[in-house]
Chain A
Amino acid sequence: MPDVAVIGAGPAGLAAAARAIDSGASVAMVDDNPRPGGQIWRASAYPKPWLREKVEVISGARVFAAPEPSVLALETFHGERRLEYKHLILATGARERFLPFPGWTLPNVMGAGGLQALVKSGLPIKDKRVAVAGSGPLLLAVAKHLRDHGARILLIAEQTSSPALLGFGVGLIAKPAKAIQAIGLRAGLLGVPYLTGCWPISAQGSEKLQSVTFRRGTRTFTKTCDYLACGFGLVPNLELASLFACNMSATGVAVDEYQQSSTPGVYCAGEITGIGGLDLALAEGEIAGFAAAGKPEAARRLFATRDSHRKFADALESAFAPRAELRSLASETTFVCRCEDVTLGHVRQCSNWREAKLHTRCGMGPCQGRVCGPAVEFILGWKPESVRPPVFAARIGSLTGTEKRR
């Protein structure tokens, strides 16, 4: 049985695993992607020798339940297995916030990070016309990545207005390394229009995307394109933390200074404690790794670093917060729940999540509200209900334990 189980092999999880190993603990990692690295690194920075040699890495596996104390139930493409542990570090990261608008369900309308991930997975993008839209620094990174792979970036539509971005720029001065990074990204995107206060209002096409209509101020305009890469910032993946009954803050899982949640022995690091980006995730991961492995004094030495990254992250989040106008992007006939094809009009007839689930099946499909939940929260202000296992759609054989184990 490993001393520490880490769920999520992105930056926070890997930092946690590294520090737990340094502290003499045995570590197992579970990750739902085929290879460690998370969305930001993918396999590029890993595997590192220490990870190969010292950690049991279980890739392509999703935790769907905690059937007994200190036991996790995992499902892979090939079967089901159990994992026992003493301490748990959750580093389950974030997903994009998707806001529904007419046409957003068409093939080739994707997340911004979503299209980037698909290109990293081998999707050919050379000479494709791509519009990038939504909000946040991710849009620049995505546009640069796609352009480097030969895409024609038509524009970047950033919903935040210029004054809000100016505030973000002031924040950058306090973090010179970040400013250099941002300037580098812009330099790699010379010739690409970066339109602030601009967002998509509809996507057109029959079997797949053909064009996107944008609004900027009182003006609307339409661009013919092959792909729309659109994400309105990130939201934390809180399902597992909810399963472990961790208390939540306004931005994610509530943790103490050692990254421990309200559930003893369950530590949380990275985006799930509040969206904060790479540097904060690394600092939180290291602290969680030291603390879970019984080295609080080593963890304490990183508190100041973490707190400084947190301040910057908070400034970023407020600069790129989605504007109120985006609440009326979806029409009454726009699907908000893509799994069950439930329109906003139907959902709006209900008065809360539970009622919407019971009467419309909104949030009851395979994604279990991961996509429509944050959208409905933004549009109607409803908080999601409590989480019940299985937290991921699992096969019957996995639930009954009769699936082949390997």
Chain B
Amino acid sequence: MPKLSVNGRPVEVPAGAMVSAAVALSGESRFRRSVTGEPRAPLCGMGICFECRVTIDGRQHAKSCQIPCEEGMEVRTDA
């Protein structure tokens, strides 16, 4: 059960979970803001749509649906 943080909040995720699941488990429904400021969240779940982008350990535009959670990761939404 890796532990990571989403917007500073601690989250524990099931083994094998992707970062997208950690964001959802943190209670955050908005993964990013669109260019006109709309809230957005994953659409395709498989790395096509880029709506799941978050910042992971300072790296921007990381596709949370395709990156497995790792112990101690720091995730920021709304990049």
Tell me if A's interface is mostly helix, strand, loop or mixed: loop
Query: Quick check: A338 and B51 within 8 Å, CB to CB?
Result: yes
Q: Is B49 an interface residue (CB 8 A)?
A: yes
Q: Is B55 an interface residue (CB 8 A)?
A: no
* CB-contact partner of B38 in A43, A105, A113, A122, under 8 A: A105
Q: Is A208 an interface residue (CB 8 A)?
A: yes
Query: Quick check: B67 and A111 within 8 Å, CB to CB?
Result: no
Query: Quick check: B29 and A122 within 8 Å, CB to CB?
Result: no
A62: B residues at CB distance < 8 A: 47
Please indicate which of the listed interface residues B21, B22, B46, B53 has the most CB atoms of chain A within 10 Å of its own CB: B46
With CB as the reference atom, state the residue of chain A lying closest to B24: A123
Chain B 16-50, CB-CB to A under 8 Å as 1, else 0, gives 11101110110001110011101111111111111
Q: Is A204 an interface residue (CB 8 A)?
A: no
Question: Given A108-B29, A341-B35, A341-B38, do A114 and B43 touch, yes or no (CB 8 Å)?
Answer: yes
Number of B residues contacting the other chain (C-beta, 8 Å)? 39
B65: A residues at CB distance < 8 A: 117-118, 121
Min C-beta distance of B78 to chain A, whole Å: 12
Tell me if B's interface is mostly helix, strand, loop or mixed: loop
The CA of A98 and the CA of B42, in the complex, are separated in Å by 13
* CB-contact partner of B67 in A39, A77, A113, A207, under 8 A: A77
Question: Given A122-B13, A366-B61, do A107 and B50 touch, yes or no (CB 8 Å)?
Answer: no
Min C-beta distance of B11 to chain A, whole Å: 11
The CA of A338 and the CA of B62, in the complex, are separated in Å by 17
Query: Quick check: B41 and A108 within 8 Å, CB to CB?
Result: yes
Q: Is B7 an interface residue (CB 8 A)?
A: no
With CB as the reference atom, state the residue of chain A lying closest to B22: A122
Query: Quick check: A371 and B29 within 8 Å, CB to CB?
Result: no
Query: Quick check: A111 and B44 within 8 Å, CB to CB?
Result: yes
With CB as the reference atom, state the residue of chain A lying closest to B38: A105
Q: Is B10 an interface residue (CB 8 A)?
A: no
Question: Given A77-B67, A105-B34, do A95 and B13 touch, yes or no (CB 8 Å)?
Answer: no
The CA of A34 and the CA of B46, in the complex, are separated in Å by 11
Query: Quick check: B20 and A121 within 8 Å, CB to CB?
Result: yes
A326: B residues at CB distance < 8 A: none
With CB as the reference atom, state the residue of chain A lying closest to B56: A77
Question: Given A43-B16, A338-B34, do A208 and B41 touch, yes or no (CB 8 Å)?
Answer: yes
Min C-beta distance of A313 to chain B, whole Å: 21
Query: Quick check: A117 and B45 within 8 Å, CB to CB?
Result: yes
A138: B residues at CB distance < 8 A: none
With CB as the reference atom, state the residue of chain A lying closest to B32: A107
Q: Is B14 an interface residue (CB 8 A)?
A: yes
A34: B residues at CB distance < 8 A: 18, 66-68
Q: Is A273 an interface residue (CB 8 A)?
A: no
The CA of A366 and the CA of B34, in the complex, are separated in Å by 12
Query: Quick check: B35 and A118 within 8 Å, CB to CB?
Result: no
Query: Quick check: B45 and A121 within 8 Å, CB to CB?
Result: yes
Chain A 338-352, CB-CB to B under 8 Å as 1, else 0, gives 111100000000000
Query: Quick check: A123 and B30 within 8 Å, CB to CB?
Result: no
Query: Quick check: A122 and B30 within 8 Å, CB to CB?
Result: no
* Contacts from B to A (Cβ < 8 Å): 13-14, 16-18, 20-22, 24-25, 29-31, 34-36, 38-51, 53, 59, 61-62, 65-69
Pairs A–B under 8 Å by Cβ, sample size 23: A39-B46, A105-B38, A107-B39, A111-B44, A111-B45, A114-B46, A116-B45, A118-B21, A118-B45, A121-B65, A122-B13, A122-B16, A122-B25, A124-B21, A207-B30, A338-B49, A338-B51, A341-B36, A366-B53, A367-B49, A370-B48, A371-B43, A393-B61
Which 4 residue pairs spanning A and B have beta carbons closest together? Answer: A122-B17, A122-B21, A117-B45, A107-B41
